[in-house]
Amino acid sequence: MTSQVKSAPLQKLGVRWRLANKRLILPVVLMAMLAAPATRELTISVLADAFWQVAAYVAITLALYHWLSQKLNHQSAFTVRLKNSRHYQVIFASVMGALPGCGGAIIVITQFVRGQLSFGSVVAVLTATMGDAAFLLLAAQPATGLFMIMIGLVVGMLSGWLVDAIHGRTYLHPQRQESAPSCCRKFSSHEQATAVRLQGAFWQWLLIPSAVIAVMGSFQLNTDALLHLPEGSITVLGAFFALAAMLLWSLSRDIQGYQETVSEDAKSEKASLFQRVAQDTNFVTTWVIGAFLCFEVTMKLTGWDIAASLSHWRAALPLAGVLIGLIPGCGPQILITSFYLHGAIPLSAQLGNALSNDGDALFPAIALAPKAALIATVYSSLPALFVAYSYYYFFE
């Protein structure tokens, strides 16, 4: 009897530990690579690049985005005009989709479920959105990121208007109102809530210093010398910060399925600005580190030139980008963007992926209106194929 009483809490703790360790796999692997002399230098370089070249820029961009989101009031007289005009609905949906991240797209999906927006608006927002991959692209190549956003905005509007002209305003509207999508709620244990608070404090203190150092690095300045630090200090510091961010992200949520792996963490309505910034930044950074490591380790261990190998399949790469874009969640799309930034795939493939991918918005769409989600995803892939191969034919 005593053993049974003792085993119950231990079993409960074991379940929680196993769930948490699914996210801890990557930090543990990184620690092992840092401990091994053969991979230490490569791992430090990847972690530092991910932090200074990506995470710092993503964090400052997200801070501005979330600050503006808090200031904007979505409940205004504009909603009245939206309800009565498919033309403005599609414009609104495309703009919301073009915003970096998945928040704008999720808003459009929930408004469609409530009967406030047309099905063409859903197609427009899913076509225009690039999800969290937009933050990565804007951080690494701002001009390309803005170009991609503008293409998504225009193609989204044209696609939405065409779909509404064919199907009408009430096509596939759910017959009843649904509850809010689970991605907008927050359920966490005390330990997870503590990890979220620590993430917020982490970026609250590091946001400005990391952005300054990142900009200095972008201008090819010797940050170690300017800050009177030993050679290589900034690289080691960046690797430490990247690993710390990943550990905090790993402890902030259990993995219970595919969605928890590839999508942003749900956020509490009471979450502070920096907690929201930290959750999204650390998610993007973790996937970027995973992508960078896959690329660099493969090159180091096998000598395989991925870019050269894929060049033989260049005509199929736009199609591959579109097909991968159909996978729900932002994680796979961040991988594609990382491969583009490494020169492994051409811009046409990145363009096809950006237009076909629906980010995290596909999860609430599948939950609340599965038929509409499926058809809208298929519809958004058609202009993605057209634009990707048009760019490939005329410019590549």
Residue 336 pLDDT class (50, 70, 90 cuts):
very high
Residue 247 lies in a domain: yes
* In-domain check, residue 219: yes
Does residue 18 have a pLDDT over 70?
no
Ranking 23-32, 80-89, 205-214 by mean pLDDT, the lowest is: 80-89
Beta strands in the chain (DSSP E): none
pLDDT reported for residue 157: 95
* 286-309 mean pLDDT: 77
What is the pLDDT at residue 192? Answer: 74
Residue 297 has pLDDT above 50, yes or no: yes
**So what's the pLDDT on residue 79?**
53
Q: What is the mean pLDDT of residues 139-154?
A: 92
Is 55 within the bounds of a domain?
A: yes
| End-to-end Cα separation, the chain, in angstroms | 73
117: phi > 0 → left, psi -120 to 50 → alpha, else beta; which? beta
CA atoms within 13 A on the CB side of 200: 15
| Residue 389 covered by a domain | no
47: domain range? 22-169+189-291
Report percent pLDDT > 90 for the chain: 31
More confident residue, 154 or 174: 154
Model pLDDT, residue 260: 66
Tell me: pLDDT of 393 over 70. Answer: yes
Give me the pLDDT at residue 7, please: 44
Residue 11, pLDDT above cutoff 80: no
| Residue 291 · residue 47 · CB < 8 Å | no
- For the segment 224-237, the average pLDDT, to the nearest whole number, is 92
pLDDT for residue 76: 47
Provide the percentage of residues in the chain whose pLDDT is more than 70: 80
Tokens of 80: 């009245």
Question: Residues 347-356: pLDDT tens digits?
Answer: 999 999 999 9
Question: Is residue 55 pLDDT above 70, yes or no?
Answer: yes
pLDDT of residue 68: 64
Mean per-residue pLDDT over the chain, rounded: 81
> Structural domain tally of the chain?
1
> Is residue 253 in a domain?
yes
**Neighbouring residues of 249: CB distance < 8 A, sequence distance ≥ 6:** 23, 199, 279, 282, 283, 285, 286
Looking at per-residue confidence, does 271 or 292 come out higher?
A: 292
> What is the pLDDT, as a whole number, of residue 347?
95
pLDDT band per the 50, 70, 90 thresholds, residue 337: very high
Band the pLDDT of 162: cuts 50, 70, 90. very high
Q: Summarize the confidence of residues 212-239 as an average pLDDT.
A: 89
**338 within some domain:** no
The answer to whether position 347 is within a domain reads no
DSSP 170-221: TTT--SS--PPPGGG-----HHHHHHHHHHHHHHHHHHHHHHHHHHHHHTT-
Q: Which residue has the higher pLDDT, 239 or 283?
A: 239
Identify which has the larger pLDDT, 366 or 352.
Answer: 352
Q: What is the mean pLDDT of residues 12-38?
A: 71
As a whole number of angstroms, the distance between CA 285 and CA 58 comes to 9
pLDDT in tens, 59-104: 887 887 777 666 554 444 455 455 555 678 899 899 988 988 877 7
| pLDDT at residue 22 in the model | 75
Q: What is the pLDDT of residues 245-269, one digit of tens each?
A: 988 888 877 776 666 666 667 766 6
What pLDDT is stored for residue 145 in this prediction? 92
When pLDDT is cut at 50, 70 and 90, the band that residue 392 belongs to is very high
Q: Is residue 326 included in any domain, yes or no?
A: no
Separation CA 392–CA 260 (nearest Å): 34
